[in-house]
Amino acid sequence: MAEPSYPDVRGGGSLILAYQVRNKKVLVVGGGEVRTSAFDDKDSVSGFVDAAHTDTQVAAGRIVRLLEADANVTLVSPRSGLNPEVAYRAAQKQVIYHDRVFEPSDLDDPAITMVMTAIDDPEASSRIWKLCKERRIPANIADVPPECDFYFGSMYRDGPLQIMVSTNGNGPKMANIVRRRIEGSLPPNIGDAIAKVGALRKKLRQVAPGNEQGPKRMKWMTKVCVQWSLEELCDMETEDMDRLLESYDPDEVPSFQKVRSGLEPGEWEFDGSFGWSCVI
């Protein structure tokens, strides 16, 4: 009997997840473009007296990503150092903003899910990271890979579709180049197709509720996605979904053309899709 073949384990990677932070609290430290104090300069007993320059693009970009993931973002940074985009987010109350320098007590809130820093002083950032470790809070210290519990990759998004390319901290620019190559190879309407597949799945759960239907639902949806083209999935309308769902019980997937024809399932055999010939 042949030995089973299994894939080799290749260490050194990251566990890439779609982490749901909806309604969860995330602390961002830094959000400007001029040199500001990262820590309270009165906290000299603990040694937090370093200056730290907050990185413009990092702070703004990460705040946007968090907001798009529906997180509750708390930003700590002096107002005098905010860059225009971050200042706009604060003015629009898209984030909970504290106009001051970071204080160790900012990490005392048990609701904090993760911490991100965007300051270019490695020593100051490391101190925040150590505080996070003491409190077992996952942290990302910008531009310091060894002090990151998680990384940001180069992201492509089209509606519900999200693709992240990560180099595990080795080459952020390379991640961007690879992401652009992937983006250029995708059809322009793939986001719409995925959104409509999601709508079809919701309707299917209403037609066939219950956990016992789970395996059949998955198998049937897989056949739909394989047999219908992306263009057809994108063109699918509500009426098409309703007609298509009539084929769920018999576990069939008719063509898009048959569904769009408006005929009943029993009439599909005679819809003329294979052509007619007349011999005289």
Max Cα distance, the chain (Å)? 103
% of the chain beyond a pLDDT of 70: 84
Architecture field, domain 153-186: 2-Layer Sandwich (3.30)
**Catalytic annotation on 143?**
yes
More confident residue, 59 or 116: 116
Q: What is the CA radius of gyration of the chain?
A: 26
- Give pLDDT, residue 271: 44
The mean of the pLDDT values for the chain is 84
- Give pLDDT, residue 276: 37
Instruction: Assign 248 to helix, strand or coil.
Output: coil
- Give pLDDT, residue 59: 85
Kindly tell me if the per-residue pLDDT of 48 is higher than 50. Answer: no
Kindly tell me if the per-residue pLDDT of 272 is higher than 70. Answer: no
pLDDT tens-digit map of 6-23: 999 999 888 888 899 999
pLDDT tens-digit map of 132-189: 999 999 999 887 778 889 888 888 999 999 999 988 878 888 999 999 999 999 888 8
Catalytic residue among 50, 143, 235, 271: 143
Domain residue limits, the chain: 25-152, 153-186, 190-262
- Give pLDDT, residue 187: 85
Options 3.40.50.2300, 2.40.50.100, 3.40.50.720, 3.40.1190.20; which CATH number does 25-152 get?
3.40.50.720
pTM of the model: 0.75
pLDDT tens-digit map of 214-255: 999 999 999 999 999 988 999 999 999 999 999 999 999 999
Q: Each residue of 24-58: b (16+ CB within 10 Å) or e?
A: bbbbbbbbbbeebbbbbeeeeeeebebebbbbbeb
Architecture field, domain 190-262: Orthogonal Bundle (1.10)
Q: How confident is the model at residue 265 (pLDDT cuts 50, 70, 90)?
A: low
Sign of the Cα torsion 206, 159, 175, 88 reads: negative
Cβ proximity of 132 and 107 under 8 Å? yes
How many other C-beta atoms can be found within 10 angstroms of the C-beta atom of residue 147?
19
